[in-house]
Amino acid sequence: MPPWITSAVPSSPRTRSGFAVLIGRPNVGKSTLLNALTGERLAITSPKPQTTRNRALGVVTRPAGQVAFIDTPGVHQARGQLNKYMVDVALQALDEVDIALFVVEATEGQGLTPQVGEGNRFILERLKSAGKPTLLVINKVDEVKKGQLLPLIDLYAKQFPFAEVLPISALKKDGVDLLFETVLSHCPEGELLFPEDMLTDQAERVLVAEYVREQVLRHCRQEIPYSTAVRVDVFDESEREPRPGTKPSRGLAGLVRIAASIFVERDSQKAILIGKGGQMLKRIGTESRKRIERLLGTHVFLDLRVRVEERWSERPEALREMGYE
């Protein structure tokens, strides 16, 4: 086995803690990996690229220590204000962490003349500038034969002095525990950064907006998701604590009332999002409410409205209003 492939991580009796960033091209599985590490849906996922727009923090605490993982938008050739914002979010996170996890797909470089793509070469240059210990995380290994990994590992080993290489399948959670142990072994010794029971720093209303946007991504046509933003306008918790003597229904008690706006850029997009007889919006609302109820542990009344905000993704003031700042 080549020396750069992790086979075991020595345990340490001392507590370690640190920040780690997940960085890579769109759709390589960074958000799926964050969810696998934390055991919760802290980052939305979809088959469409550029699903992640903001950074998402997931804190994993185990007896040996704690790692705060930062999921970032996929680094891509940025056109437009929103895309530039997303790439900036990813690259700025490199300055704030102790260790970087460069995530690539196992299926990359399987052609006759394997090579590192332009996008990944750009990320590698930024990693070199950052000077942080970096792990190469090869995701989706369940989609290739083991023998196909060695040429890919060799290819990247020639490009960058990775501290470790970890083949994983985030979707199947294969290798995820070893990945955590490896990351922790590269973190500095020290006290926990966050309380042991803390999972994320994202506010519930932020997660609610993301859960709604996830359903838009999953149900709508190709042209709609990239012109969509979701803003929570009302988050009423006045009935969240159930009244004495109230019997739970479907395992849930209490009620949170939420009103959210789904923004698009054209009237034609609004029509598609609402659907014939309102069926598309109803489907998005039903699936969103199920996920939000699991998040909040209460019944949820969810009111969704579709609004047209022309060219919001190109205007700095509109981006700030949507929470991209």
Q: Is 290 within the bounds of a domain?
A: yes
Question: Could you say which of 127, 156, 185 is where a domain stops?
Answer: 185
Q: Can you give the CATH number for the domain in which 302 is found?
A: 3.30.300.20
**Residue numbers of the domain that contains 262:** 204-321
pLDDT at 191: 92
Q: Give tens-digit pLDDT for 133-157.
A: 999 999 999 998 888 888 899 999 9
Q: Is 6 within the bounds of a domain?
A: no
Q: Do residues 109 and 216 share a domain?
A: no
Q: Return the minimum-mean-pLDDT range out of 132-141, 159-168, 217-226, 237-246.
A: 217-226
What value does the mean pLDDT take over residues 88-104? 92
CB burial of residue 245 (10 Å; 0-12, 13-18, 19+): exposed
Q: Give tens-digit pLDDT for 252-269.
A: 889 999 999 999 999 999
Q: Do residues 38 and 180 share a domain?
A: yes
Query: In the chain, how many domains are there?
Result: 2
Q: Is 45 within the bounds of a domain?
A: yes
Q: Give tens-digit pLDDT for 266-289.
A: 999 999 999 999 999 999 999 999
pLDDT at 222: 67
Q: Do residues 252 and 298 share a domain?
A: yes
pLDDT at 15: 87
What value does the mean pLDDT take over residues 294-319? 92
Give the model's confidence band at 8: pLDDT under 50 very low, under 70 low, under 90 confident, else very high.
Answer: very low
Q: Is 129 within the bounds of a domain?
A: yes
Give the model's confidence band at 5: pLDDT under 50 very low, under 70 low, under 90 confident, else very high.
Answer: very low
Are the C-beta atoms of 173 and 179 separated by less than 8 Å? no
At 101, phi and psi to the nearest 5? -115, 110
What value does the mean pLDDT take over residues 183-191? 94
Q: Do residues 37 and 178 share a domain?
A: yes
Given a cut of 50, is residue 9 above it in pLDDT?
A: no
Q: Is 99 within the bounds of a domain?
A: yes
State the pTM of this model.
Answer: 0.85
pLDDT at 13: 54
pLDDT at 107: 86
Given a cut of 60, is residue 83 above it in pLDDT?
A: yes
pLDDT at 325: 67
Q: Do residues 154 and 40 share a domain?
A: yes
- Give percent of the chain above pLDDT 90: 62
Q: Do residues 287 and 260 share a domain?
A: yes
Q: Can you give the CATH number for the domain in which 130 is found?
A: 3.40.50.300
* CB-based contacts of 54, cutoff 8 Å, min separation 6: 73, 89, 323, 324
**pLDDT: which is higher, 133 or 112:** 133
d(CA 116, CA 138): 13
Question: Could you say which of 131, 157, 185 is where a domain stops?
Answer: 185
Q: Which two tokens stand for residue 61?
A: 């605490």
Q: Is 199 within the bounds of a domain?
A: no
Report which listed range, 1-10, 197-206, 216-225, is most confident: 197-206
Q: Is the C-alpha dihedral spanning 79, 80, 83, 85 positive or negative?
A: positive
Q: What is the mean pLDDT of the chain?
A: 88
List, as one string, the DSSP characters of 16-51.
EEEEEEEEESTTSSHHHHHHHHHTS--S---SSTT-
Q: Do residues 44 and 85 share a domain?
A: yes
- Label residue 122 left, alpha or beta by phi (over 0 means left) and psi (-120 to 50 means alpha): alpha
Q: Do residues 152 and 92 share a domain?
A: yes
Question: Could you say which of 140, 157, 185 is where a domain stops?
Answer: 185
Q: Do residues 22 and 168 share a domain?
A: yes
d(CA 187, CA 67): 8
Q: Is 209 within the bounds of a domain?
A: yes
Q: Is 117 within the bounds of a domain?
A: yes
Q: Do residues 142 and 210 share a domain?
A: no
